[in-house]
Amino acid sequence: MLKQRLTNLAANTEMNAHSRLLDGGFFDIYDGTQPATADDAPGSDTHLLASLQFGPRAFAAAVNGVAAALAILSDPDAARTGTATWYRLMQADHLTAVEDGSVGRSNANLVLNSQQIQQHAEVSIDGFVLTASKS
């Protein structure tokens, strides 16, 4: 059986539409257990550690199915101390979820130099990309 594969045009169109959902949105970082789906609310064992914000335009135009985040505004005052284990990307209303992902020091959707976040510390992300699966 042949695999379904996207052209660059289709992958770029998918990523550009996805990334526009995040214009002015939020990059929330949590501890605890990531929900089963991005449509599920965070469980009672999770806590919001930090909330960063995308600019009015969150991502550059996709190239080869990859959209790179433009400036992500740091959270100058982390909400609480904990170990970052997952994130949720939210629309600008800070109510509508777009996607979830894992957080780690390697082999994660968001790689941080330290998963330990301290309350009142500044939290920043230097770079982040969204990628369409082309094959």
Q: Which long-range contacts (CB under 8 A, 24 or more apart) does 45-49 make?
A: 46/86, 47/79, 47/80, 47/82, 48/79, 48/80, 49/78, 49/79, 49/80, 49/81, 49/82, 49/84, 49/117, 49/123
pTM of the model: 0.93
Average pLDDT across each block of 10 residues of the chain; the chain has 135 residues. List them in order.
86 96 98 96 95 98 96 97 98 97 95 96 95 82
Dist CA 73 CA 7 (whole Å): 33
Dist CA 9 CA 44 (whole Å): 41
Dist CA 35 CA 99 (whole Å): 11
pLDDT of residue 30: 98
Three-class DSSP category at 112: coil
Domains of the chain: which residue ranges? 8-35+43-131
